[in-house]
Amino acid sequence: MEAGLDLLRRLVERARRIVFFGGAGVSTASGIPDFRSPEGLYAGEFEGLSPEMILSKTFFYLHPETFFAYYRRALVHPEAQPNAAHRWLYELEKRDRLRGIVTQNVDGLHRLAGNRRVYELHGSIHENYCTECGAFYPLAKILSTDGIPRCDDCGGVVKPAVVLYGEAPEPFVCIGARREIADADLLLVAGTSLSVEPAASFLEGFRGRDLVVINREPTPADSRASLVLHDDVARVCAALMPFVNNL
């Protein structure tokens, strides 16, 4: 492990255009469960329904009350705070070494940590819009209501701006994310099984020098990576924090 950390430190120090591609494993140290581990969201059911069924576009429109009951319980964690991974990435961005964060997470923790170059492929729980008039609402709107949240102006249903099953990611976000990955000289892939499309296919555009994978379990990208660390993302980033002033 120490040899891997030393190599990763050297790869980061020589890189000038770092891009971070992260998934649910980035936020588990903040108390947010992942999806596919034995303790993850997809390991159980809600009122006899699978999470994949509930978190779909069709289910949202047909059964909004059940959708919001599950959504508030499973996807919204207002008490969560950035962990060592988020903080380390913020330090890289401050030093203009991190060109972008491409995240599959909807928790907003990268922005809360201070990062601005964030491409949220699956949206954010902090952005919510009326399905009728388009009025914007913060997360507080969802948290302060029971049942179906309604627009204060027109009474329409307020929908979280998260990408549900059956919905496509925002095109401009995808374009920006693909551009950053293509221009990177170091791509850090962390906390993701790379099993969700189309996000996983974004890595195909990487033509840089070094690809690093940090994930507890093997991923499809391991075979072409310069370095693979089967470890917790926050633990690895915490170990690198003392060296950030050398950049």
Catalytic residues, by residue number, are 122
Burial of residue 172 (number of CB atoms within 10 Å: 0-12, 13-18, 19+): exposed
Phi, psi at residue 123, to the nearest 5°? 85, -165
Q: Which residues of 215-238 are buried (b: 16+ CB within 10 A; e: fewer)?
A: bbeebebbeebebbbebbbbbbbb
Name the region of 237 (left: φ>0; alpha: ψ -120 to 50; beta: rest): alpha
Phi, psi at residue 129, to the nearest 5°? -135, 145
